[in-house]
């Protein structure tokens, strides 16, 4: 069973399309939910819905869904960085550009603060964490404080 769960998570994080994408609709999550059963914990917060997939090694990917069904934030935490191209969708180009141009700063975090996109990659080897969100997609009365 444990092995099967691990396979499920790999597919969720590395295959496409397998998980909802920042800024897009939740539609693919329902399919994934069957596939990820036992791992995808869905909770409803004040004004938003939260999907959390947890892998056997403790890696967690969280997706924040607005009442309109849009993914307004994602976060991750664990021994590796998930496939950000998949999680961030079209927003990945801004992160790629930042990663390619941040040459003088070494060994530190990568931060993007664009007009309507915030991205942070932090931590260190074996303990990575980060988040990304789209301010304009936040539901009313929900602040960035909820993204953890």
Q: Is 37 in the site for another protein (CB under 8 A)?
A: no
Three-state SS letters, 5-71: HHHHHHHHHHCCCCCCCCCCECHHHHHHHHHCCCCEEEEEECCEEEEEEECCCCCEEEEEECCCCEE
Q: Is 17 in the site for another protein (CB under 8 A)?
A: no
Q: Is 60 in the site for another protein (CB under 8 A)?
A: no
Binding region for another protein (CB under 8 A) out of 22-30, 37-45, 84-92, 134-142: 84-92
- Taking CB under 8 A as the criterion, the residue among 25, 120, 135, 137 binding another protein is 120
Q: Which residues contact 131 (CB under 8 A, 6 or more apart)?
A: 73, 74, 75, 76, 118, 119, 120, 147, 148
- Taking CB under 8 A as the criterion, the residue among 28, 52, 89, 98 binding another protein is 98
The footprint of another protein on this chain (CB under 8 A) covers a number of residues equal to 57
**Between 25 and 135, whose beta carbon lies closer to another protein?**
135
Q: Is 6 in the site for another protein (CB under 8 A)?
A: yes
Bridging pattern class, strands 110-114 and 71-78: unpaired
Q: Is 11 in the site for another protein (CB under 8 A)?
A: no
- Taking CB under 8 A as the criterion, the residue among 22, 71, 92, 142 binding another protein is 92
Give residues in contact with another protein (CB under 8 A). 3, 6-7, 9-10, 14, 55-57, 59, 75, 77, 79-85, 92-93, 95-96, 98-111, 113, 118-131, 144-148
């Amino acid at each position: 069973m444990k092995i099967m769960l691990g396979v499920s998570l790999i597919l969720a994080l590395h295959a496409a399309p397998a998980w909802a994408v920042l800024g897009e609709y939740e539609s693919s999550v329902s399919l994934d939910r069957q596939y990820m059963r036992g791992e995808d914990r869905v909770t409803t917060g004040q004004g938003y819905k939260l999907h959390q997939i947890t892998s056997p090694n403790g890696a967690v990917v969280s997706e924040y869904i607005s009442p309109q069904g849009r993914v307004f934030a994602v976060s991750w935490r664990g021994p590796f960085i998930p496939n950000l191209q998949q999680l961030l969708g079209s927003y990945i180009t801004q992160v790629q550009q930042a990663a390619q141009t941040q040459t003088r700063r070494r060994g530190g975090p990568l931060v993007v603060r664009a007009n309507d996109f915030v991205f942070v990659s932090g931590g260190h080897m074996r303990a990575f964490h980060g988040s990304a969100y789209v301010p304009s997609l936040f539901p009313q009365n929900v602040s960035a404080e909820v993204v953890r």
